[in-house]
Chains A and B, each alone.
Chain A
Amino acid sequence: MIRVTLPVLLTSVVGFLLVAAFFFRGLNRVNSDLSEYFNIIAAVAFILGGGNLLRMHLDKVQRRRPGWTYSIVTVVAFLFTLIAGLFKVGNSQGWTGPVEAQGSWFNFAYDAMFNPLQATMFSLLAFFVASASYRAFRARNVEATLLLVAALIILLGRTFVGAFLTSWLPQPLQFLSIPNLSNWIMSTVNLAGARAIIIGIGLGVISTSLKIILGIERSYLGGRES
């Protein structure tokens, strides 16, 4: 009973309260307060997550499993960031200063190591977009050809090349210029399709939320009835 009924009951009460908070001004604070509670729970859960991370990697190092040397890097980086941030090491403003103050070890780790690494991962996206586009935009049938043409117009329309290629068009035919065609595809054809998907998503969100609030959907509890 405690493992299923109590979570379902709590979910129902909090869910209804949050829905009511959107419509009733008197309950406005409930929304922000419950969000704060969520942040507190998430922060406490981080101890669990961080602890799990440490345990997993230390175990890997101890047992010399494949790739254990990378685990050493993970553990050292984790502990360094944790200590530098928690004790505000090198922080010119002392304990009361912001954790990301200039000159602090935490700030150094973030700017000199974390940010470049993050940017490296992000920049991989450019290459992946190219390879995925190459596969997706092959004119195998009518639909794929339409997709290819639309993609080509949008790609050209978003760069200076599109405007350059159709700059010779006379004023009455300017609506056929690549940048204008690109805008039309995005704001009419694409938006119509996107809105249909968004309406479906909205209904799906309402339905899922209602099912969870009313305890109809319990799969997240492992599917146990009671």
Chain B
Amino acid sequence: MRQIWKNPRFLLVLLALVIALVLLVLGPRAILNFDRRHTNLFVVLLIVGGAILFYTFRAQSGVKYFIRKIAGIAAIEEAIGRATEMGRPVLYVAGTQDLDNVQTVAGITILSSVAKRVAEYDVHLEMPTSRSLVMTTARETAKEAYLAAGRPDAFNEEHIYYVTDEQFGFVAYVNGYMVRQRPATCIYMGAFFAESLIFAETGHSIGAVQIAGTAQPQQLPFFVAACDYTLIGEELFATSAYLSQDPKLLGSLRGQDFGKAFAMLFILLGSILATLALLTQSDVLTQLSHWLQGLFTIKSS
């Protein structure tokens, strides 16, 4: 705990947060015209972001954190091993969105760990992309991963390629690839829309082990129904930490847990207040309940 205060990076971030808070309190309109409609969001961001940074830097100082077993992530290595035994490729799809979507970035970070394992097992990795920028980034990421695994010679950038930006054009290609080449393992990590079930059902029909992860709540049921393992929502963002076991990344997960506890506390408080207000018809409780609700409402223009 003491060590964290000696971390210059943590102190720098803390200083930035304090400056931001002071600016907010002292009347920032004169400087940058702070949008007061977002004050509540700003405070929540400071609390949650501060907690994530605190635990990240605390982990960097040497504090160890436990991460529960996530079956879907643990299965990745097994699935790659299966592909090696069968002598068939591993198909990796990082969603259908561009790099400005954080899910795609999460998909690329997971690719780094997957590519390392693939290089170690000496199995063929196939990655069609639906965006040019994703292709170039994925190539660089995989290349570095092969290098880190000590197998730069095994990397072939031709296996990571661009197909089309069009959603169903991309689906047609990936499905065709699955049916013709019959990959032993299909990994889908990123932002998916209507194509999620088409991919997953085609993968199921060829008998592939399928691991999916997305933060699109509407697509999760499709993946859950058709894939062997599914990373639900936040698990997608935890995969990189889980696979790398990097203490800093594990620490950030603890910060996320703090954010969840914070949300749970206010949900519970809000539920109790709203119920009591309804039962007692008390004006004070009703106003208090509305005030609490307002704290977490995003005000639009």
The answer to whether A and B assemble together is yes
Residues on A lying within 8 angstroms of B by beta carbon are 19-20, 22-27, 35, 38, 41-42, 45-50, 52-53, 56, 66-67, 114, 117-118, 121-122, 124-125, 128-129, 131-133, 135-136, 194, 197-201, 203-212, 214, 216-217, 219-224
Residues of A within 8 A of B136 (CB): 45, 48
Contact B35 A23, beta carbon cutoff 8 Å: yes
Contact B198 A222, beta carbon cutoff 8 Å: no
Known: A118-B166, A205-B215, A206-B49. 16 other contacts (CB 8 A): A20-B32, A45-B133, A121-B168, A122-B168, A197-B233, A203-B256, A204-B237, A205-B237, A206-B52, A206-B259, A208-B106, A220-B112, A222-B142, A222-B143, A223-B116, A224-B144
How many pairs of A and B residues are in contact by the CB < 8 Å rule?
199
User: 14 A-B contacts, Cβ less than 8 Å apart?
Assistant: A42-B133, A49-B162, A118-B169, A125-B198, A132-B201, A136-B226, A203-B260, A204-B237, A204-B256, A207-B237, A208-B102, A208-B106, A219-B110, A222-B148
Given contacts A56-B158, A125-B197, A132-B197, contact A222 B112 (CB under 8 A): yes
Segment at the interface with A among B85-93, B246-254, B285-293: B246-254
Contact B52 A207, beta carbon cutoff 8 Å: yes
Residues of B within 8 A of A132 (CB): 197, 200-201, 222, 225-226
- Shortest beta-carbon distance, A50 to chain B, in Å? 8
Cα A210 to Cα B220 with chains together (Å): 25
Residues of A within 8 A of B143 (CB): 222
Contact B45 A206, beta carbon cutoff 8 Å: yes
- Shortest beta-carbon distance, A122 to chain B, in Å? 6
Contact A52 B162, beta carbon cutoff 8 Å: yes
Residues of A within 8 A of B147 (CB): 222
Given contacts A210-B49, A211-B249, contact A201 B215 (CB under 8 A): yes
Cα A224 to Cα B236 with chains together (Å): 21
Cα A135 to Cα B236 with chains together (Å): 25
Residues of B within 8 A of A23 (CB): 34-35, 38, 41-42
B135 close to chain A: CB less than 8 A: yes
Most buried by A among B100, B201, B222, B238: B201
Residues on B lying within 8 angstroms of A by beta carbon are 9, 13, 28, 32-35, 38, 41-42, 45, 48-49, 52-53, 56, 98, 100, 102, 105-106, 108-110, 112-113, 116, 131-133, 135-137, 140-145, 147-148, 158, 161-169, 171-172, 180, 194, 197-198, 200-201, 215, 217, 220, 222, 224-226, 232-234, 236-238, 240, 244, 248-249, 252-253, 255-256, 259-260, 263
Cα A33 to Cα B143 with chains together (Å): 32
Contact A219 B113, beta carbon cutoff 8 Å: yes
Q: Which 9 A-B pairs have the closest CB atoms?
A: A222-B144, A49-B132, A204-B237, A49-B162, A200-B234, A219-B109, A204-B234, A121-B168, A45-B132
A interface, by DSSP: helix, strand, loop or mixed? helix
Contact A204 B109, beta carbon cutoff 8 Å: no
Contact A204 B233, beta carbon cutoff 8 Å: yes
Most buried by A among B144, B147, B148: B144
Residues of A within 8 A of B226 (CB): 128, 132, 135-136
- Shortest beta-carbon distance, B62 to chain A, in Å? 16
Contact B260 A200, beta carbon cutoff 8 Å: yes
Cα A53 to Cα B135 with chains together (Å): 11
Contact A26 B197, beta carbon cutoff 8 Å: no
Given contacts A214-B13, A219-B109, A219-B141, contact A46 B132 (CB under 8 A): yes
Residues of B within 8 A of A19 (CB): 45
Choose one: B158, B166, B248; the contact of A216 (CB below 8 Å). B248
Choose one: B109, B110, B135, B140; the contact of A49 (CB below 8 Å). B135
